[in-house]
Amino acid sequence: MTPADRPALILGARSGIARGIAAALAKRGHPLMLAARRAGELDSDVSDLSIRYNCTVTAHEFDVLDLDGHAGFLDSLPATPSIIICAIGVLGDQERDAGDAQATKLVVDSNYLAPCLFLEQAASRMAQSGGGSIVAIGSVAGDRGRAKNYVYGSAKAGFATYISGLRQKYAGSDLHVMTVKPGFVRTAMTEGMDLPGPLTSDAEPFAERVVSAMEKGRQVYSDLRWRALMAVITHLPERIFMKTKF
């Protein structure tokens, strides 16, 4: 099968990382289905990608929090996806969200519950129609709870565990499930943050590495420098970790 026979569905298509991944997939010849809230605002992405890479690109209205709409959304697509990129995420505001039921629920539902329910259903359909790859974007924030972002981090931890289970469920089949754990990437999510240069990626090169890891059938992808840093952070004894500002 050529990339032209393997359409990719991009969830959260306006995300900075998703835009980079969309371009990397279009460059390889995959038809794209861009899905996002306010899909009408994707017009310029549709024309830009289709002209630049000479591929078919369509835009689709999608809100992952509309749980009852998941099946209908999948039914409405022009093709069963052969690749799904899930780039949906809500960082929230730790100080505001902690202890606030509605704000916490929004972060948990957006990063964990709703994407998991969607991917469960999509995985089953993909497995029945020849398999493919699911790329689920989590975060290194899920590796250890930190005072700075533990509402978001705990939702991403749940997401990573769910995706790990989904991966094992389909292990040995034609459906490949990959977890991506970005560190810092320059996107709307990190705008205004004081990011440490050596630990921060631009979205396009990061996206290229994600697509390349997917093509190699990797199970978990994280930048080498973040793998090394998180190996240290996750192994620090609690009493030492409590004294740090990571």
Ligand X SMILES: NC(=O)c1ccc[n+]([C@@H]2O[C@H](COP(=O)([O-])OP(=O)(O)OC[C@H]3O[C@@H](n4cnc5c(N)ncnc54)[C@H](OP(=O)(O)O)[C@@H]3O)[C@@H](O)[C@H]2O)c1
Residues that bind ligand X (CB under 6 A): 12, 14-18, 36-37, 62-65, 87-90, 110, 137, 139, 182, 184-185, 187-190
Instruction: For residue 232, give every residue at least 6 positions away whose Cβ sits within 8 Å of its Cβ, in sequence order, or none.
Output: none
Rounded CA-CA distance 63/118 in Å is: 11
Q: How many CA atoms lie within 13 A of 72 on its CB side?
A: 8
Distance in Å, CB of 153 to ligand X, minimum: 10
What tokens appear for 71 in the block? 């099946």
Q: Quick one: 31 or 89, whose CB is closer to ligand X?
A: 89
User: What per-residue string of b and e applies to 156-184 under the rule 16 or more CB within 10 Å gives b?
Assistant: bbbbbebbbebbeebeeeebbbbbbbbbb
Catalytic residue check, 53: no
- Residue from 58, 80, 112 nearest 5 by CA: 80
Q: Quick one: 188 or 228, whose CB is closer to ligand X?
A: 188
Rounded CA-CA distance 21/63 in Å is: 20
Q: Catalytic: which of 53, 112, 150, 152? A: 152
Taking each helix axis from N to C terminus, what angle separates 150-169 and 101-108, rounded to the nearest 10 degrees?
30
Q: Quick one: 191 or 238, whose CB is closer to ligand X?
A: 191
Q: Quick one: 123 or 135, whose CB is closer to ligand X?
A: 135
Distance in Å, CB of 129 to ligand X, minimum: 24
Distance in Å, CB of 173 to ligand X, minimum: 25
Cβ-closest residue to ligand X? 89
Distance in Å, CB of 137 to ligand X, minimum: 4
Residues designated as active site: 152
